[in-house]
Amino acid sequence: MHHLSLPLLLFLLCSGAKAEEIIGGTECKPHSRPYMAYLDIVHSQGQVYGCGGFLIRRDFVLTAAHCAGRFMTVTLGAHNTTGNEDTWQKIEVEKQFPHPKYDDNFIVHDIMLLKLKEKAKLTLAVGTLPLPSQFNFIPPGRMCRAVGWGQTNVNGPGSDVLQEVKMRLLPPWACKHFPKFNHKRQLCVGNPTKIKNVYKGDSGGPILCAGIAQGIASYVHINVSPPAVFTRISYYRDWINKILREN
């Protein structure tokens, strides 16, 4: 991570300008995840990095608050982020809405809405993703899928195509080594005995359970071993709905 002070043991999931992939995952069928958004972000100090996100309304993308920057462009309809595919829709972000209680020292309330300057055109390659209701508190034990363009391993680059990986939701005690983990607001995800995880570049991407976005990729342990922490979307539905209504 280029620009945030990190708490002990935590590693935020932003990347450099080149996007790479999920660790231990497989390539998605091209454009089978039409809600996915690739974020090109320029930080206030000039660094350029990438995050993931997902389209929840034609003019709104949901992502992680630690992906905030001075200037941001969203690419929709992408599979290969270097391919300049004819399915792409590149749209500038008009306004960023990080959660008002987001704390970048302890990585809590790590959720942000992005208002696009223009509405996306819905196509076979660009679509929206449903969110859970505020009462849909998904329990541990479910097998879900994380999606993103984060690195495939710690040191080496991978291809620039969208990846996905199966990860199980774990009970809260499995994330007790994270000082500020809160089961009401976050998901503990990923079997520590398997080499499957999100990593740099996956920030802001969703974890999907039965086709519904239940979480947003937030951070991992600095040694990159699972589990990872995702922001629990259902906890924030009132706040999300308020921003969408007002904009």
pLDDT digits (tens, 9 = 90+) for 27-85: 889 899 999 999 999 987 778 888 899 999 999 999 999 999 999 999 999 999 887 88
Residues in the chain: 247
Contact 72, 51 (CB under 8 A): no
Tell me which of 66, 79, 99, 109 is the catalytic residue: 66
For β-strands 206-209 and 163-170, DSSP reports them as unpaired
pLDDT at position 102 is: 96
More reliable by pLDDT, 142 or 25: 142
**Of the listed 110, 160, 202, 218, which one is catalytic?**
110
Which token pair is 20?
Answer: 């790479």
Structurally, at CATH architecture level, domain 34-128+237-246 sits in Beta Barrel (2.40)
Does CATH number 1.10.10.10 belong to domain 142-234?
A: no
In tens, the pLDDT along 92-150 reads 999 999 999 999 888 899 999 999 999 999 999 999 999 999 999 999 999 999 888 86
- The rounded distance, in Å, linking the Cα atoms of 14 and 50 is 6
To the nearest 5 percent, what fractions of the chain are helix, strand and coil? Answer: 10, 35, 55
Residue 110 annotated as catalytic = yes
Give the pLDDT mean for 193-213: 80
Cβ–Cβ under 8 Å, residues 138 and 214: yes
- Per-residue pLDDT of 180-197, as tens digits, reads 999 999 999 987 777 665
**Is residue 203 annotated as a catalytic residue, yes or no?**
yes
Active-site annotation holder among 43, 99, 203, 221: 203
Residue 5 has pLDDT above 80, yes or no: no
Among the residue ranges 4-18, 114-128, 155-169, the one predicted with the least confidence is 4-18
Measured CA to CA, the distance from residue 65 to residue 99 in angstroms comes to 7
pTM value > 0.85: yes
Question: Catalytic residue at 221?
Answer: no
Domain limits, the chain: 34-128+237-246, 142-234
Give CA–CA dist 119/28, Å, rounded.
25
